[in-house]
Structure 1
Amino acid sequence: MIFKRVLWVFAILCVLVLTFVFYSSFVITVKRHHVLTVFEMAQTGNAYFYQSTTESSSLSGKYMTINLTEVIEYFMKFKGGKDIYTRVMHANIFIYSVIGLNNSEIKNQSTAPWSSFGLIAWKHSEVPNTNLSCCFLYENGIVLNSKVVKISTYVKAKVQSFRFECVNPNPSSKPKGVTLIAEHYPCTSDISTYVAPVFPHRQPGNNTLALCAKIAFGNLNADLTVEWIEYNKNMGVDKIAVFVSNLSSTMSRIFQHYQNTGFLDVHPFALPMVDTINRKLGQKTGQGWSDEQVPVYDCMDRLAGYSYVGIVDFDEFIFPLQDKDFKQFVNRLKKTYHDVSLFTFLVDIYVMDWGKMNENEKLLITQFTNRTQTMQDRVKNIVIPDWIETGSVSTHKAVPRKGYKRIWIPKTVAVLKHFRSCRPDWGHRCINRKHFPRFTDDSLVKRLNEMKTDKNISLYDHILKVKKDLKLTS
């Protein structure tokens, strides 16, 4: 009898403790390095932890305030990355995001109706593409069904990337949740099965530019990443979107800094079905390219309110030879080519295996000035979203809408400067000067020294200062 009473008391105490933990909102203040430890732990769950500092405008703040309840909820929600995507009921389809679409009619008003929605997802190859429908859940609890009207996919793989498009069955209302449903199954009112939509809006002006950096994972080169971000920021890019998974603590800290400034949008990313289909990010296979397409689909819908969108990796620098910045460059192109929706860049590869030419240079990208001849090698593009078929953009290609076309930018106008090591498929040819002639090109070094920031210092010196503030250099 006494033993049972002890068990009851113990159970009641456990309930009280759990209730206190989950519903209390007391705040604790800890030293920065303690929070960074928590932040690094959070990355192992494939999610991004949003920090708020008491000195948000300074990199040197000593303390950070966090809500303990939010931290606990964070770890519960993102344990194993399960809530980064939502599994469709009765089918091996995993929705990553749902984004409102109005194509060229993207609204400026936050309460504007949305005519259709894009659902970005992975789908197991065994699930048929046909007979899928969308379910829309509205604020008043009404649930409506809508057939999938467009399906886009990329390369064949065991788990394929897909973009499904459905018309909003009640276009006068904004849904609070959208999901897919397989044939013969009804829509449900269970909100846990729905994905909250994103509603992108037209950005002010007619020459806004955003870049999609796709996936960042593991231990990226911190120096190269900061130099790339600062270069694009000072060349006139308005926004960069990146999808992160299992970053190192150094890269997490760098991305957090740029997210705090509003320049970088960071989205947590994880792969579904890794337990049943062995794969990982970065694989140069059909499956790897399929997984990489999910952020591309997301970017193009999410950034559709910008005048121009580019898909560019962290080691690739768009370099206009005749213009001082990107805004001047794209505006001139648009005036010159009225019917163009897709600008494609040829590539100069700065092969880092060839060694540093300038050991005394303080920036990584200025230490390597030996490049290949300009070539058509894994080219990248800047597109005009209004004039591109929705769901057609991949890392290297896109389909212009009827009446528009693609142009290849002459190498005398602009190139893509790509800093990378020898590719495995190049083999020994990479170090053979007959196969890969080497050209000394310091045009990027000169540009960094000539460009002035708003504080009237060279971009070169500005990047050095930022790297010092971020504790990448002493």
Structure 2
Amino acid sequence: MTILLCLLIFVWYGIATYNVFFTLFDTNLIDENPESTDSNIKLNIIGRQMSHDMVLNENHESIDSNINIIGRQRSRDKTTNPTEPDDDEILRKFMEYQHTYEPDIYLYSAISIQEGINKFILINGWERKSLLHVKNFTCCLHDRDGTNLFINSTLKSTFDLFDNVTLHSVQYACPVRSSSIQSVSVSIGTHKCEESEQHYINVESSMRNESGLAICGKISYGNMDAELILEWFEVQRLLGVDKVLTYTYKLNDQAMAVLEYYESIGYAVIMRDFEYPLQEEIKRSVGEKAESAWSDLQVLIHDCESRLHGYKYVAVLDKDEFYIPNITKHGFKIKSALNYYFGNDYAGISALVKMHMTSWKPSNESSDLIIGKYLLSTAPVYDNVKYIYMPSRTKIGSVSVHSMLPKRNYDSIVLPDSEIALHHYRKCRTDYWFDRWSFSAKERKVVYDNKSSDDLCFGFRKYYQKDMAIIMERIRDNVLKIRTKLNVTM
């Protein structure tokens, strides 16, 4: 009787003080079935706290949130609208660095997504190495009505690419039922949240186009070639890509002018001025072939994956890479080709790579387009492959530059180059995913010029790419017109 009385008092107290907690336990990578119901997400109501209350630890002291905010938005967000904005309604985002006092977690963005009837807020950022294997964390949520919610979760995706990296990328997934969560933070452990708004990051909505194809254009930085970026955008438009999301870091003025042109017509979404934490402690720069820089890039891939979750198809590409379907078979409609490729079985497809080496002498020096100057490529090879994936069939948090994980009952496939190829315009490298001896004798004759001993650049056998020549002619007039308008020089 005493126990029953205590339970009744506890329940009465919870109702009277309006205290609620949510607890969720699950696997490291989310694998939600879009057809699932509320029963798939088991939420135990334990407590809710009104906004004027302060979270206290067992010593009745306020608890630090161990959070650093990297992402701050200077202007309003229009990413929830898949329609083309007017010129005066362009999305302009800037990501600012903001110091706080704890070095363990650094937040970059928080994006709300929907999987069937299930809602999640994906929080993207960095963690210290010491937190890599810590599973339990608390999602700290501020609702628009002033209510604070705390959700204990284990839905955490990390990319620990290198053993000696101080920071690794992380994505925390917070299951929610409300669509009115305004800002979020994260605390390691259970039921510990800081009240102060300075430790929270605003929640944005993912972009939606249920029949659309979007490209995660990674990051544009430094002295990247404005002319090639311009040609790249025009190829994507020709092929029917609906939206490009990209990031910038200290990008040269001409290339920035190209990005802003496509932003002005509603085709591109630009996340400006990427900034990363611990720059003095961990020396690295964007684009550097360094382990820490790869972790920074993965944070952007997590962010990109989150923002584009509402699209039917998403491709991760650099701005010197072109997915080209068999245009004799599919024309210039890449989405029609994707509908054919994916069918009912696949979550992701990748393609063999045809490398157009810009270290070679141009095959057509008179062409006024870069892609027209270098119409010769290598044979299709398995090197630095990328994926086009369906977010609805892909495990949340699993997408990286060169990989993705299908949900249960789906698979991924590398398609033959007779269906689609990834054309990569780049200088010769000092290493590849393959070498001469990874091929059979017959394959070596296809890939290499047997008269040459140079396996890394000039020893490749060269092949004329008719599809790229056709595409070059199709986009040429538009490229020249925009080049003149923006005063872009080759």
TM-score, with structure 1 as normaliser: 0.75
**Which residue is 1:216 aligned to?**
220
Contact map agreement 1:133 1:145 (CA 8 A) in 2: yes
Contact map agreement 1:213 1:311 (CA 8 A) in 2: yes
With over 3 angstroms needed to count, the CA separation of the structure-2 counterparts of 1:431 and 1:344, relative to structure 1, is closer
Partner amino acid, structure 2, of 1:241: L
Contact map agreement 1:118 1:166 (CA 8 A) in 2: yes
With over 3 angstroms needed to count, the CA separation of the structure-2 counterparts of 1:394 and 1:465, relative to structure 1, is same
1:245 matches 2:249: yes
With over 3 angstroms needed to count, the CA separation of the structure-2 counterparts of 1:305 and 1:284, relative to structure 1, is same
Secondary structure in 1 matching 2:195: coil
Shift of residue 280, structure 1, vs aligned partner: 1.1
Shift of residue 94, structure 1, vs aligned partner: 0.7
**Which residue is 1:400 aligned to?**
406
Secondary structure in 2 matching 1:461: helix
Q: Which segment drifts farther, 408-417 or 436-445?
A: 436-445
- Cα RMSD, aligned residues only: 2.8
Shift of residue 216, structure 1, vs aligned partner: 1.1
**Which residue is 1:93 aligned to?**
105
Task: Tell me the alpha carbon deviations over residues 134-164 of structure 1, each in whole angstroms, 9 at most, x when there is no partner.
Answer: 1001122221111233111121322101111
**Which residue is 2:121 aligned to?**
117
**Which residue is 2:285 aligned to?**
280
1:61-460 aligned at under 5 Å gives the runs: 81-83=96-98, 90-105=102-117, 115-127=119-131, 129-154=134-159, 155-156=161-162, 157-168=165-176, 171-183=177-189, 186-203=192-209, 206-268=210-272, 269-321=274-326, 322-324=329-331, 325-334=333-342, 337-425=343-431, 429-433=455-459, 436-449=460-473, 458-460=474-476
Find the aligned partners of 2:127 and 2:236 in 1 and give their Cα distance. 34
Task: Tell me the alpha carbon deviations over residues 40-72 of structure 1, each in whole angstroms, 9 at most, x when there is no partner.
Answer: xxxxx999998xxxxx999xxxxx9xxxxxxxx
- From the two aligned structures, give the one with the greater helix fraction: 1
Shift of residue 446, structure 1, vs aligned partner: 1.6
Find the aligned partners of 1:421 and 1:146 in 2 and give their Cα distance. 49
Find the aligned partners of 1:122 and 1:186 in 2 and give their Cα distance. 19
Give the ranges of 4+ consecutive aligned residues of structure 1 lying more than 6 Å apart after TM superposition: 45-50
Contact map agreement 1:346 1:376 (CA 8 A) in 2: yes
Partner amino acid, structure 1, of 2:306: D
With over 3 angstroms needed to count, the CA separation of the structure-2 counterparts of 1:305 and 1:162, relative to structure 1, is same
Contact map agreement 1:366 1:442 (CA 8 A) in 2: no
Task: Tell me the alpha carbon deviations over residues 413-462 of structure 1, each in whole angstroms, 9 at most, x when there is no partner.
Answer: 110000000112269522342xx22222242012332xxxxxxxx42212
Contact map agreement 1:48 1:267 (CA 8 A) in 2: no
Contact map agreement 1:124 1:159 (CA 8 A) in 2: yes
Which residue, 477, 482, 485 being the options, matches 1:461?
A: 477
Find the aligned partners of 1:90 and 1:354 in 2 and give their Cα distance. 50
Secondary structure in 2 matching 1:365: helix
Partner amino acid, structure 1, of 2:376: N
Find the aligned partners of 1:217 and 1:369 in 2 and give their Cα distance. 26
Number of residue-to-residue matches in the alignment: 382
Find the aligned partners of 1:277 and 1:57 in 2 and give their Cα distance. 41
- Identical positions, percent: 26
Find the aligned partners of 1:130 and 1:370 in 2 and give their Cα distance. 50
Find the aligned partners of 2:419 and 2:334 in 1 and give their Cα distance. 12
Partner amino acid, structure 2, of 1:242: T
Partner amino acid, structure 2, of 1:258: Y
With over 3 angstroms needed to count, the CA separation of the structure-2 counterparts of 1:184 and 1:117, relative to structure 1, is closer
Find the aligned partners of 2:487 and 2:378 in 1 and give their Cα distance. 33
Secondary structure in 2 matching 1:359: coil
Q: Which segment drifts farther, 154-163 or 360-369?
A: 154-163
The unaligned stretches of length 5 or more in structure 1 are: 1-44, 51-55, 59-63, 65-73, 106-113, 450-457
Find the aligned partners of 2:109 and 2:227 in 1 and give their Cα distance. 31
With over 3 angstroms needed to count, the CA separation of the structure-2 counterparts of 1:431 and 1:176, relative to structure 1, is closer
Find the aligned partners of 1:425 and 1:300 in 2 and give their Cα distance. 29
TM-score, with structure 2 as normaliser: 0.72
Secondary structure in 2 matching 1:343: strand
Partner amino acid, structure 2, of 1:256: E
Partner amino acid, structure 2, of 1:447: I
Contact map agreement 2:360 2:458 (CA 8 A) in 1: no
